Amino acid sequence: MIIRPKVYLFALIGSITIIALLWKRKRLYADEYVMQMDNREEMPDPKVPDDLKPDEKVQPRSEGTGALYHRLYRVDVDQPQVDLLTLMQQIKSDPNAFTPIELARFEKTKGDPDRFEIGDEYYIHITGPWDGPVRVLNQIPTAFTFITLTGHLEAGEIHFRLLPHPAINQAFRFEIESWARSADKIVELFYEANIAKTAQTGMWTGFCEQVVIKSGGEMIGNIEIITQRAPYEEGESQHEGD
């Protein structure tokens, strides 16, 4: 693949814009734990096969570039004023209400605008040089999964779920969990330099913060971010989905 200097310049300008916008955002209370894994067997099993490709638009992990990243964003909330089903329905109905508007905007491009169903597609307009088309891969009343489509800056999937808190009554846990690789060498460069990853962190921690606010509850502790990085050997597909 030939990488032209103009492409690098466009990516650099877009990345500087993202960093400037993140600088303006107030500091979120978040704790991040970063782990370099020797191999992906040490990671939790992804729920989607590496090479899942139901049609030509899907961009699975097997078509990505570079290392595999597993990222988990988690926030616990006490005394919410809405139940989990209602809160998840709000997320599905209007993801823009939970997304930092200066970083991204969801546009539904396929499916009934008044429903949220498997097969629906969204085009995520991301500030900077890359965008993020996705498809609803599966969904239940308190969770759903997006898989990346051609043109997304990553190759993989991301899961959103609401769960009862494992230890505290009247509390819940919200998680965003992804398994992904960079879409190409340019994205990999900016991701490994922590530019694209910083923007990603800002977007999803901002999403977690809005979940807390719209639940009417109180955050327990800080937002927790767990990042695991492992080498990915081309052609491997040993993890099968449920």
Q: How many CB atoms lie within 10 A of CB 185?
A: 11
Q: Which residues pair with 74 in a beta bridge?
A: 175, 224
Which structure tokens are listed for 240? 């099968």
pLDDT attached to residue 151 = 94
The SS3 assignment for 125 reads: strand
Do 160 and 144 contact (CB within 8 A), yes or no?
yes
Do 122 and 106 contact (CB within 8 A), yes or no?
yes
Mean pLDDT rounded to a whole number for the chain? 86
Domains present along the chain, CATH in parentheses? 5-230 (3.30.530.20)
**Percentage of the chain exceeding pLDDT 70:** 84
The SS3 assignment for 236 reads: coil
Between CA 184 and CA 153 the distance in angstroms is: 8
pLDDT attached to residue 141 = 97
Q: Determine whether 207 is exposed, middle or buried from the number of CB atoms within 10 Å of its CB (0-12, 13-18, 19+).
A: buried
pLDDT attached to residue 235 = 57
Lowest mean pLDDT among 12-21, 57-66, 110-119: 12-21
pTM of model > 0.85:
yes
The SS3 assignment for 10 reads: helix
Query: DSSP alpha helices (H): ranges in 80-226?
Result: 84-93, 185-192, 195-215
Tens digit of each residue's pLDDT (9 = 90 or more) over 190-233: 888 877 788 889 899 999 999 999 999 999 999 999 999 999 97
Helices 5-24/195-215 angle, 10° precision:
30
Between CA 21 and CA 85 the distance in angstroms is: 33
**Which is nearest to 80 in space by CA: 174, 7, 14, 8?**
174
Q: How many CB atoms lie within 10 A of CB 127?
A: 21
pLDDT attached to residue 103 = 87
Tens digit of each residue's pLDDT (9 = 90 or more) over 106-152: 999 999 999 999 999 999 998 876 789 999 999 999 999 999 999 99
What mean pLDDT is predicted for residues 29-40?
87
What single DSSP character describes residue 68?
A: E
Query: DSSP alpha helices (H): ranges in the chain?
Result: 5-24, 84-93, 185-192, 195-215
Q: How many CB atoms lie within 10 A of CB 172?
A: 24
The SS3 assignment for 45 reads: coil
For the chain, what's the residue count?
A: 242
